[in-house]
Homo-oligomer: A and B are copies of this chain.
Amino acid sequence: MDGVLRPGFDVTRIRQDFPILSAPTPRGKPLVFLDSGASAQKPRQVIAAMTRCMETAYANVHRGAYNLSEVATESFEAARGAVAKFLNVADSREIVFTRNSTEAINMVAHGHGRGVMRAGQAVVVSEMEHHANLVPWQMLRDAGRGIELRVCRVTDAGELDLAHLEDLLADGRVGLVAVTQMSNVLGTVVPAERVVALAHAKGALVLFDGSQAAVHRRQDLTALGCDFYVFTGHKLYGPTGIGVLWGRLALLEAMPPLYGGGDMISEVTLERSLWAPVPAKHEAGTPAIIEAVGLHAAIDYVNAIGFDAIEAHERELTEHAMAKLSAVEGLSILGAAQDRGGVFAFSLDNAHAHDLSTLLDRAGIAVRAGRHCAEPLHTRFGLDGTCRASFGIYTTIEEVDFLADALGHARKFFA
């Protein structure tokens, strides 16, 4: 493998893998990219894998009997295998490639929600969901199938209110608990094992939205024991256009397909069609072949660094950021969960989030401003919007210091 990383964690070395971090900028200021939570940058290993696929090994998959198509099919299916290993699940037929997390969740809301759940059952989400894990369930609720939507509260500290979750589960009518494993606003890491235990005790399945968590923490779904899991390639240093739905085989098999087309059928007459086995059944049409190859390279890349190192680096950054940002006058950080990752939403007392992000951008600092696709959470905390800084494997302590410093100046600017 090219670009094998030294053991330990060398952020300077890692930064060299990301061409954009040294690309020219409009005003010549170095890019301080603190929006990895929205989408991460891509290492050259990912870019190279996609290029190599297009330059030497590209053809449509599953269809041709010729060598090039076999090669392409092998690399596509190898990506599926790599995802299964990444999530530590044994059967790669349980890996369905999607466009992104959003599509993966919607597929469950349609296939399992409309196709398998029964009237009178309920779905539980939480107040801190990304819209991707809220709106599909609202649509299910509103589809006139008698499925209820329950919302688990978030505490003032920004944690999932487990006592409330127990209440919501108490009547045994909850069919599915669909919650984020890590908040994209509060940084809160949800006690996933507890959630599974509570839900399973009441006969409810569990879907985790791992869009953020899969980037920051090692995942072992076999140990975790959830029933569905989703994540999205572009946040994991992979390309856009590819995401993952994992589900237990029997669940994926029970789900009717949402899309019909090529590759997802085994027999078609004008009168009827027979579905192909899982996962093909849920992957109609030409899949994102080049992107699957890119995602495979991204997984190889983070594996080569290793989650021990990634988690340690993030812990260091997070603690440092907590200390530094708390010291900025007039700054308040949203949420104070015990277990949190490298995502910080904050407000400055004398500046609107949008104005603040414009200032920071001038200093070369990319942060997001707004509600981060989590409007109900902002409503719950009485906020119109916040700025958010989120870290990646290439984020440095110096960048955090620079952010804190810039925030101090921004407060003076608006004074």
What residues of chain A have their CB less than 8 Å away from a CB belonging to chain B? Answer: 19-20, 23-26, 31, 33, 35, 38-39, 41-42, 46-47, 50-51, 54-60, 63-69, 99-103, 105-106, 109, 127, 130-132, 134-136, 138-139, 151, 232, 234, 239-242, 258-265, 267-270, 272-273, 284-291, 354, 357-358, 360-361, 365-370, 373, 375-376, 379
A358 and B258 CA atoms in complex are apart in Å by 34
Contact B376 A270 (CB under 8 A): yes
The 8 Å CB contact of A259, one of B106, B130, B290, is B106
The 8 Å CB contact of A136, one of B46, B232, B261, B290, is B261
Residue of B nearest to A56 (CB): B23
Contact A270:B151 (CB < 8 A) given known A262-B373, A369-B65: yes
Question: Which B residues are in CB contact (< 8 Å) with A286?
Answer: 39, 100, 102, 232, 234, 240
The 8 Å CB contact of A135, one of B50, B135, B240, B261, is B261
Contact A290:B361 (CB < 8 A) given known A99-B285, A100-B285: no
The 8 Å CB contact of A132, one of B24, B240, B285, is B285
Residue of B nearest to A31 (CB): B68
Contact A261:B132 (CB < 8 A) given known A55-B47, A102-B284, A267-B375: yes
Contact A262 B106 (CB under 8 A): no
The 8 Å CB contact of A268, one of B46, B60, B376, is B376
**What are the 5 tightest A-B residue pairs by CB atom distance, in nearest-first order?**
A102-B285, A135-B260, A241-B241, A241-B288, A102-B261
Contact A103 B269 (CB under 8 A): no
A99 and B292 CA atoms in complex are apart in Å by 13
A-B pairs with beta carbons under 8 Å apart, 22 shown: A19-B54, A19-B56, A20-B55, A23-B56, A26-B67, A35-B60, A46-B54, A54-B239, A59-B366, A64-B357, A65-B358, A65-B368, A66-B365, A67-B361, A99-B241, A99-B288, A106-B260, A131-B261, A132-B260, A135-B284, A232-B285, A268-B376
A51 to chain B, nearest CB (A): 6
Contact A361:B66 (CB < 8 A) given known A240-B287, A262-B373, A286-B240: yes
Contact B370 A63 (CB under 8 A): yes
A267 to chain B, nearest CB (A): 7
Contact B288 A240 (CB under 8 A): yes
Contact A139 B35 (CB under 8 A): no
Contact B273 A366 (CB under 8 A): no
A235 to chain B, nearest CB (A): 8
Question: Which B residues are in CB contact (< 8 Å) with A290?
Answer: 239-241
A52 to chain B, nearest CB (A): 10
Residue of B nearest to A19 (CB): B55
The 8 Å CB contact of A360, one of B33, B42, B66, is B66
Contact B101 A285 (CB under 8 A): yes
Residue of B nearest to A54 (CB): B42
Contact A105 B66 (CB under 8 A): no
Contact A65:B361 (CB < 8 A) given known A42-B58, A106-B258, A106-B259: yes
Contact A273 B138 (CB under 8 A): yes
Beyond A19-B55, A102-B284, A138-B260, 14 extra complex contacts between A and B, CB < 8 Å: A20-B57, A23-B55, A39-B289, A41-B58, A47-B55, A63-B373, A66-B357, A101-B285, A106-B284, A109-B260, A131-B262, A136-B259, A269-B379, A288-B288
Contact B265 A66 (CB under 8 A): no
A273 and B272 CA atoms in complex are apart in Å by 36
Contact B234 A273 (CB under 8 A): no
A267 and B371 CA atoms in complex are apart in Å by 11
Contact B58 A20 (CB under 8 A): yes
Residue of B nearest to A268 (CB): B375
Question: Which B residues are in CB contact (< 8 Å) with A365?
Answer: 66
A20 and B131 CA atoms in complex are apart in Å by 41
Residue of B nearest to A367 (CB): B66
Contact A260 B366 (CB under 8 A): no
Residue of B nearest to A134 (CB): B268
Kindly name the residue among A20, A267, A370 whose own CB sees the greatest number of chain B CB atoms within 10 A: A20
